[in-house]
Copies of this chain bind each other. A is one copy, B any other.
Amino acid sequence: MSGFFTSRWVPRPDHVAEAADDTLPAGFRAAGVAAGIKPSGALDVGLLVCDAPDAVSAARFTSSAVVAAPVQVTRERARLDRLRAVVVNSGNANAATGRLGLDEAARVQGAGAMAAGVAAEQVAVASTGVIGVQLDGQAVVRGLLAANGRLSPDGAREFAEAIKTTDAIDKRVTLDVELPSGRVRLAAQCKGAGMISPRFATMLCFVETDAAMSAQTADLLLGVCVKRSFDRCSVDGQLSTNDTAILIASGAGGVRIEPETEDELRFGEALDALLRQLAILIVRDGEGAARVGRVVVRGGDGRAVEAVARAVADSPLVKTALHGGDPNWGRIAQAAGAALAGGAPVPVDIAIEGIPVCRGGAAVRVDQARLDAAVARDEVEYEVRLPGDGAETEVFFSDLGHGYITINAEYTT
């Protein structure tokens, strides 16, 4: 397996290596099956089980005010620090489905408990696909029966297949992480290509490790790393109803991560690199996208810095320019100005791939050939400087091309 860490923005930490085999961390089994929810007949029900009774977990969900039934059920009716199984279906989001949708999600949770041999409150459920159509929970249950018979430590690949919707790029890896106390394994399966947005932006991501840790440590690590990864990426500025990220630590590998130790630091670095690279893969796989942009905004006001970064990342004018390889930085100035609208004029500095193009709000003479070449690369970095110091943020974003229109105007997704 070559090249998970493909982005120059996420160098592989020295103590992290891609695993030679594809086996899940000790204590985990997974499977994926086709249950007929996707009309295409592709895999659409995934089951992940942790066999370690003392496993701990952590979870993060969408902040949307219109949340899918599985998010509601998992958030309210599961012990998020003691999860031991995840049931996922693709092809139907079970969102905007009302009381009936909640019943179906609860039924799937119950069936997942039976299949995994754990308590229902230890089962997370997740869905992705079309919104506003009733989920056939019975189909998921039938899928679970089949998946249960296929559960295997080598099931990560088919589990990852089963959670995909419009994804074209695999978002999955198994890593070995060298900690001072020993080697641990860390794996993740993730999906997302559209409705990817501000304020926590994966659709679904499941992370497993055989390290042992407290539930508090798991929650802290997942929380920090989600903030630096899925929370900083945007395909189309559209916050999903279904976003779910779950970390489960089985402890089956025998290495324990204690708080505020070198182990925790190194494990955190590995998880951070893993989730950041996954976030960039989501952006790279953005529906119809060809290039990935990163906007870094610095200045003296944290809210202004955040607003400008989001405005640039979500501007269809900036995104189409990125798609076309057009160094039209005027659109970046425009987006920044709009984000700060209503106040006094703000002099901005803008650089593209380190080449200053605008200083104090005015164009700078540039080597046009050099600039044209810079924006034609796979990854393009934009820097915006606002007045003042002390605040800085970044957002990774997709370009906007014909493919996005084709996918979203011509199909109900």
Contacts and interface: CB of A to CB of B under 8 A. Distances in A.
B412 A328 contact: yes
Nearest to A95: B330
Contacts of A169: none
A204 B132 CA distance: 40
Contact of A65 (B316, B331, B344): B344
A98 B330 CA distance: 13
Contacts of A339: 65
A231 to B, nearest CB: 12
B345 A65 contact: yes
A64 B341 contact: yes
A405 B412 contact: no
A334 B64 contact: yes
A334 B203 CA distance: 13
Contact of A131 (B99, B101, B238, B333): B333
Dominant SS at the A interface?
Answer: loop
A187 interface: no
Given A334-B195, A363-B134, A317 B238 contact: yes
B132 A238 contact: no
Listed residue (A65, A335, A362) with the most chain B CB atoms within 10 angstroms of its CB: A65
A323 B65 contact: no
A303 interface: no
Interface string A251-287: 0000000000000000000000000000000000000
A298 interface: no
A204 to B, nearest CB: 16
A67 interface: yes
A335 to B, nearest CB: 7
A323 B405 contact: yes
In the complex, the count of this chain's copies comes to: 2
A145 interface: no
A236 interface: yes
Contacts of A62: 341
A229 interface: no
Contacts of A409: 320-321, 323-324, 326, 399-401
A391 to B, nearest CB: 16
Interface of A: 62-67, 72, 93, 95-101, 130-134, 194-195, 197-199, 236-241, 314-317, 320-321, 323-324, 326, 328-331, 333-346, 348, 357-358, 360-363, 399-402, 404-406, 408-413
Q: Which 4 A-B pairs have CB atoms at the shortest separation, nearest pair first?
A: A98-B362, A131-B330, A66-B337, A239-B338
Given A132-B363, A399-B409, 8 more contacts: A65-B336, A65-B340, A66-B334, A98-B360, A100-B362, A195-B317, A199-B341, A238-B317
